[in-house]
Structure 1
Amino acid sequence: MKIVTLTVLSTLLALAGCATVPPPPPAGLAIDRTLSARGQSDRVKYVIIHYTVSDTPRSVKILTTQDVSAHYLVTDADQPTVYSLVDESRQSNHAGYSNWKIYNQLNAASIGIEIVNPGYKDTPEGRAWYPFKPAQIDQLVLLLKDIVKRHNIRPENILGHNEIAPQRKLDPGPLFPWKRLADEGLITWPEPSRVAARLPGYQQQLPDIFWFQRTLAQVGYAVPQTGVFDTATRNVVAVFQTKYRPALFDGTPDAETAALLDVLTSPLPVLPAAPVAVPAGVETAPVE
């Protein structure tokens, strides 16, 4: 087993050093690179977080020898290693069929991060989820901050695999510490006092299903807009709850879920600037 593991890790180290370098132009072709167009943007607009549903050796084998891949892999060792498997300038096959806001097939516009974690197991007492190791999250936070800085990723664009594929994916699951990422300034989070202020109103009168569908779509989720509480809508509600209210994520569109959605989609009002006091006897002139 040691020989297999060492071989796999050697392969990873070799892959990690394979950054994309533009080849020289063929003989006879002269390319002038002194100009740069204004109309361009970074390929990377999203970061998608996954769990691997396997241990480190098997995760390494799958992500390096099969069609599925990821830009980064965070191991589950006591001192986790972060492996770079695909250069950020290139597309990795981690998202699959996916949708978020105006984007679909998010492989082309995202960086994928896999975290070694078994996911869950079904027991007679119910589904048991595996926690993430604190050291893994520490490394993930450092990695995300680096990616965000280099690609100017917006806080609402760091997502879980289940958010972009709510009908078929569960990762990173309810034990992924999204609140830690919010505390680090990496993602947006509904302010608790504003949620508490809105909760009584929704407890008295719950919005209809179309309101939930419309507001979930405003956040970014791909959800039917039919006014019918079908299985697809329940799945999306459950994914939203998994992230923002992991204590209960049964997919029921209740008052607390409505309050969370309301706050998340209602920006704080911008107050007018206070007038500047001018000392007596000082003349001011209008600014042209």
Structure 2
Amino acid sequence: MYEVDRTTYRSVKGFNRRVRFLIMHYTAIGFRGSVNALTGPAVSAHYLIPDPSEKDYQDAGFNTLRIFNLVDESERAWHAGVSTWGNRNSLNDTSIGIEIVNLATDEGGVFKFPPYHPEQIEAIKQLGRDILQRYPDISPVNVVGHADISPGRKSDPGAAFPWKALYEAGVGAWYDAATVQTFKQQFSAGLPSRADITAKLKTYGYDTSTAAGDSGYRGLVRAFQLHFRPENYNGVVDLETAAIVYALVAKYFPGK
């Protein structure tokens, strides 16, 4: 048998980490159903954050919130599905997925996004900061929702997800309000063209391959609005939406 020497020579620069994305989801079902689904043969996630006020959770014998680690971070959880962000696709290979129990509903295209429990929000902040500390290749722009990486197909974690609060806690990206105001003044005489909006969204990371058609474009804009303009996620670019798009690109991709 030959010895494998793991200490004499070590590369210190010519590599990086597998994990480059942190992806947020909601379960759209209760705790018991979420556990059954995420520990079954079809889908999974690295972490599950329950709703401590939910009867299912309490009936399972838990009286305080805990974060459940379902899949080791070194393993590939099946949570992202068909997905694209930036220049990468099939993001299961390069991401950590967090599922949050939330009873969002979709009734014939009419969505209801109930608020997240305050303790869930604190748990997401805690877990997010911990993950980002251990995986420095996850940039703020690469903390995303399922809707961001699958525009037009997915809506989670929904309009009630506290993206701005997470940003303020050091997790993820957000725009600067002053820059938004600057672009609102710039666009007051007319909005950027559809082609220009699409190009900016692509620069930020969104998959714009389906945006040539009206339906695909609305789905793309809606995904962006669910994350950055949740007060109105109708898929129509208005002055506020356009200004936020440009403000984000100016902040995180200066010069593009």
Do both share a fold (TM > 0.5)?
Answer: yes
In 1: Cα distance, 2:83 partner to 2:154 partner:
10
Q: 2:175, 2:251 within 8 Å by CA — same for their partners in 1?
A: no
In 1: Cα distance, 2:168 partner to 2:199 partner:
28
In 2: Cα distance, 1:229 partner to 1:135 partner:
41
Query: 1:114 maps to which residue?
Result: 99
In the superposition, the TM-score normalised over structure 1's length comes to: 0.79
Cα separation, partners in 2 of 1:156 and 1:33, compared to 1, 3 Å: same
In 1: Cα distance, 2:16 partner to 2:148 partner:
24
In the superposition, the TM-score normalised over structure 2's length comes to: 0.88
Quick one: which of 204, 208, 233 aligns to 1:223? 208
Higher relative contact order (CA 8 A, sep 6+): 2
**Paired residues for 1:92-111 under 5 Å:** 92-111=77-96
Q: Which amino acid aligns with 1:36?
A: R
Q: What is the deviation of 1:88?
A: 0.5
Q: 1:175, 1:246 within 8 Å by CA — same for their partners in 2?
A: yes
Q: 1:224, 1:233 within 8 Å by CA — same for their partners in 2?
A: no
In 1: Cα distance, 2:210 partner to 2:153 partner:
19
Query: 2:39 maps to which residue?
Result: 64
Q: Which amino acid aligns with 1:106?
A: L
Cα separation, partners in 2 of 1:223 and 1:129, compared to 1, 3 Å: same
Quick one: which of 141, 145, 153 aligns to 2:129? 145
Quick one: which of 44, 55, 61 aligns to 2:30? 55
Quick one: which of 57, 61, 68 aligns to 1:83? 68
Query: 1:259 maps to which residue?
Result: 243
Cα separation, partners in 2 of 1:113 and 1:257, compared to 1, 3 Å: same
In 1: Cα distance, 2:253 partner to 2:207 partner:
27
In 2: Cα distance, 1:246 partner to 1:268 partner:
20
Quick one: which of 169, 172, 175 aligns to 2:157? 172
Partner secondary structure for residue 266 of structure 1? helix
Quick one: which of 192, 196, 199 aligns to 2:177? 192
Bigger-Rg structure (1/2): 1
Cα separation, partners in 2 of 1:231 and 1:144, compared to 1, 3 Å: same
In 2: Cα distance, 1:54 partner to 1:45 partner:
28
Partner secondary structure for residue 39 of structure 2? helix
Cα separation, partners in 2 of 1:201 and 1:229, compared to 1, 3 Å: farther
Q: For the aligned residues, what is the CA RMSD?
A: 2.0
Quick one: which of 68, 73, 89 aligns to 2:48? 73
In 1: Cα distance, 2:87 partner to 2:187 partner:
29
Q: Which runs of at least 4 in structure 1 moved beyond 4 Å after TM superposition?
A: none
Quick one: which of 33, 39, 53 aligns to 2:6? 33
Gaps of 5+ in 1: 1-27, 271-288
Gaps of 5+ in 2: 54-63
In 1: Cα distance, 2:220 partner to 2:237 partner:
10
Q: Which amino acid aligns with 1:173?
A: G
Q: 1:210, 1:225 within 8 Å by CA — same for their partners in 2?
A: no
**Paired residues for 1:267-286 under 5 Å:** 267=251
Cα separation, partners in 2 of 1:268 and 1:223, compared to 1, 3 Å: closer
Quick one: which of 237, 241, 252 aligns to 2:225? 241
Q: 2:28, 2:104 within 8 Å by CA — same for their partners in 1?
A: yes
Q: Which amino acid aligns with 1:54?
A: I
Cα shift readout 1:208-265 (whole Å, capped 9, x = no counterpart): 1100110000110001387x55211110101111111111111111211111111111
In 1: Cα distance, 2:112 partner to 2:172 partner:
26
Taking only the aligned residue pairs, the percentage that are identical comes to: 37
Query: 2:194 maps to which residue?
Result: 209
